[in-house]
Amino acid sequence: MVILATGLALNLTVIVLNGGFMPLPVETARALLPPPTVALLEVGAPIGLGSKDILLPESSIVLPWLADRFRSPAGINRTFVFSIGDVFVALGVIVLLSRAPDPEASHKEINHAR
């Protein structure tokens, strides 16, 4: 739970410090998106309607190492960006699920006790 909470805290921190949006460095957007799409994006504005991301130059981002700066690995059909906080959240979920009690084992123990 600590790992998951750490990831959530990292994401919340960078979002709060950057005006309520997760910053996306312009450099990352350029590497991820086709040039015509990047040309349509406005620096300092959310990426799209209802988006959690705001396009900012790295020099304008508060705590830039916590921004959505990492790209999905090559070979994955869907491209996406993520932050170090997202890594902690995912790792925390994996750890929690791996430690979850086995419902099948609990069921067997109850039936065996009868």
pLDDT at position 11 is 98
Distance, CA of 36 to chain centre: 25
The residues spanned by each domain of the chain are: 2-113
- Tens digit of pLDDT for each residue in 60-110? 999 999 999 999 888 888 889 999 999 999 999 999 999 888 777 655 656
What is the Cα–Cα distance from 32 to 11, expressed in whole angstroms? 21
How many residues are listed for the chain in this entry? Answer: 114
Q: Cβ of 65: how many Cβ atoms within 10 Å?
A: 11
Q: Which amino acid is residue 80, in one-letter code?
A: F
Beta strands in the chain (DSSP E): 22-25, 53-56, 70-71, 81-82
